[in-house]
Structure 1
Amino acid sequence: MNKFAAGMVMAATLASPLLAHAQVRAEGSLSNFSYTLIDLLPNDGIAPSLSIVTPQGYAGGASVFGSLSQSDSVEPWFDDARSQFTAPYDRDLAVGLATSVGTARASLTGTDFHSLQLHTVASTAGTPAASRHAKGQSGLNITEFVLSPGTRVSFFADFTGSALITPEGEAHQAFRDYAEIQARVSLNANIQNRPGEYVYVSNFINREAWNGHPGESPASERFSLTLDNKSAFSADLSLKYDLHATVQALKATEVPPTPVPEPATTAMLLAGLALVAGAVRRRRKIVGKD
């Protein structure tokens, strides 16, 4: 490659915007739902049971949500969100957003309790010129359970989740990158024939990643929650599951955006290099004749 061609390649390279990316991603799922029962009062003559009944009044439902946003000096600025909600017993939902900023997806499926599946994904790429956010969320509220007196119930689900940050280049240091996947379950038991008497328990799993802590590799564990109905009355249960995936890349310091030459400026630069190369060639010819 001659010097003129090399100069043209270098000029084109300098005229291109320099971007460095850091992949920030959170993903999680809940599946394989089940429960077990233990008799706390074996001499009361009542067999442990968890009945599925048609709920009275508010029956709960399901929802999924996804959002993406970008701000600062990169255009276009935008803030987009999608959501879906269902009536009781209609649990087949999905939303998704995908742009150059990142991805946000959430889904919830299942015809009954044992076949439920919740899944969320959020990912984004940070650059020295933008702050970016992505979030996926799915959740449902189940109110059709009635627990027998003197009974312990334990609900289970398989959790799989990861929060990862994969830096690329020095520009990654200019960001406060954060990724989180969280699963949360709560259970409220209202004791029948005892107004105001209830039992509440909750549990959650959390995976996080941030600058200096690249995150935890995909992990799986059995997610559980236990509630004791020690009363002599049945209890109406309100069981709620939520799964959140959240990521963000926020500017930690002011990073001057890489200049992006206008087309006219680039053309002038290339033309100038061509003139310089031509002058060098003419000078060499003159020197050669002498």
Structure 2
Amino acid sequence: MLDWTDRHCRYFLRLISKHTLLYTEMVTTGAIIYGKGDYLGFNTEEHPVAVQLGGSDPTDMARCAVLSQERGYDEVNINVGCPSDRVKNGSFGACLMAQPEVVANCVKAMQAEVDIPVTVKCRIGIDDMDEDEDFSRFINIVADAGCDTFIVHARKAWLQGLSPKENREIPPLNYPRVHRLKETRPELSISINGGIKTLEDTQAQLALVDGVMMGREVYSNPYIMASVDKDIFGDTSVTPASRRWLVEQMQAYIERQEDPYFKPWHAARHMLGLFQGQAGGRIWRRYLSQNGTGKSPDPNLLMNALDAVEKAQREVEQYNGQKD
């Protein structure tokens, strides 16, 4: 979720679910060590939250793991799944599937320096790698180095010939391969990722693996998380947040930002799908897009957009009442 799951996005998602583990967008070791920005900043309300690192040098990875632990992250995750050109050219991400020893060395170096979990997110292979033998070899080498938690995107990544977007859609999903991994290595914590779009699908997967990661579906339809705490985590004390409450909370969040470069759109862009499938959903998206950007964005952006949505919803209700 590079360039997507930033701190504003994660704050918004945490309002919807108390228990879901949130992941940062991938941040490279070079950015953390040499960059001028604060690449490890997050809101304390985001816990539990994991930082996802991109890198292949064990010393640098260990250094960034230490910095992440000092900042308060709950987990540090090594990205061995992202297929973008920026990642491939930097010798990290999915291309490291072909170099399990490098990943293993990073795991060892990081675990020697931090107490928080060090986990790995990977694919089931890249390019011409065998999805059975080569994938098993990768898991075995990295697990033997001390990693006991893997989040597996159940697709290959084709680094030659497919764009990052195509790599999220064209390679076929192979859920059974991830299920077999859990069967053969039951002592490992295995989460599955890729193409899972409903809580019903999530519950079906949880009968076979330990966890489910959802990315694009949650981003495009975030309210899918409204019943996660009750239906997935079994927390019956939680009352799902209303969309209006979420908008009110995010409007207050926007108003208390002190960064002079912050604009309402930086937070609002992550909320475009809040009314997905609802009356007024298109009005919501259009209002945010038209009034959240530019030199003079609407300071009361979210509440004004909500007013427009609720007006449209009342009109729909009146029309349906008259029709009945």
**Which of 1 and 2 has higher RCO (CA within 8 Å, sep 6+)?**
1
Higher helix share: 2
Higher strand share: 1
TM-score, normalised with respect to structure 2: 0.21
- Specify the structure having the higher radius of gyration (Cα): 1
TM-score, normalised with respect to structure 1: 0.23
